[in-house]
């Protein structure tokens, strides 16, 4: 039990589908993150929300749309994805400001785009 729960764990979708990834954190943190993990590459930060406000959007294509309704929940809405978007999508949370840099990750959602 990591304190950060992601659903679904696995998702297969076609390029024309619309789906969403969900993340919930039970740690009382105020910042939540989406990362993309591809094989043998560093984790790529996609979005950051702090106190429900989006503070980072690292040039992510508009086919990825985040939503943060409150400090405990984070969604990633997916629409007309490409095969190269297949990856493990990791949600994380932290308490900010707390200059320890520690992130707490969920188990990830493995996405396959056909």
* Footprint on this chain of another protein (rule: CB under 8 A): 2, 4, 6, 31, 33, 40-43, 45, 48, 50, 55-56, 90, 92, 94, 96-97, 99-108
Q: Which is nearer to another protein, 69 or 101 (CB)?
A: 101
> In degrees to the nearest 10, what's the CA dihedral of 18, 66, 71, 30?
140
Q: Which is nearer to another protein, 8 or 14 (CB)?
A: 8
CB 14 → another protein: shortest distance, Å? 24
Q: Which is nearer to another protein, 4 or 68 (CB)?
A: 4
Q: Which long-range contacts (CB under 8 A, 24 or more apart) does 65-73 make?
A: 66/34, 68/32, 71/29, 71/30, 71/32, 72/24, 72/25, 72/26, 73/22, 73/23, 73/24
Q: Which is nearer to another protein, 64 or 89 (CB)?
A: 89
CB 39 → another protein: shortest distance, Å? 9
CB 79 → another protein: shortest distance, Å? 24
CB 6 → another protein: shortest distance, Å? 8
Counts of helices then strands in the chain (DSSP H, E): 0, 11
């Amino acid at each position: 039990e990591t304190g950060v729960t992601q659903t679904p764990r696995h998702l297969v979708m076609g390029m024309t589908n619309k789906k969403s990834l969900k993340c919930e954190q039970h740690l009382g943190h105020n910042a939540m993150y989406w990362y993309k993990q591809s094989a043998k590459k560093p984790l790529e930060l996609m979005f950051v929300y702090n106190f429900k406000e989006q503070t980072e959007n690292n040039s992510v294509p508009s086919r990825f749309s985040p939503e943060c309704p409150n400090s405990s929940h984070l969604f990633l809405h997916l629409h007309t994805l490409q095969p190269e978007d297949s990856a493990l999508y990791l949600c994380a949370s932290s308490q900010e400001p707390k200059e320890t840099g520690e992130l707490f990750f969920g188990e990830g959602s493995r996405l396959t785009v056909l």
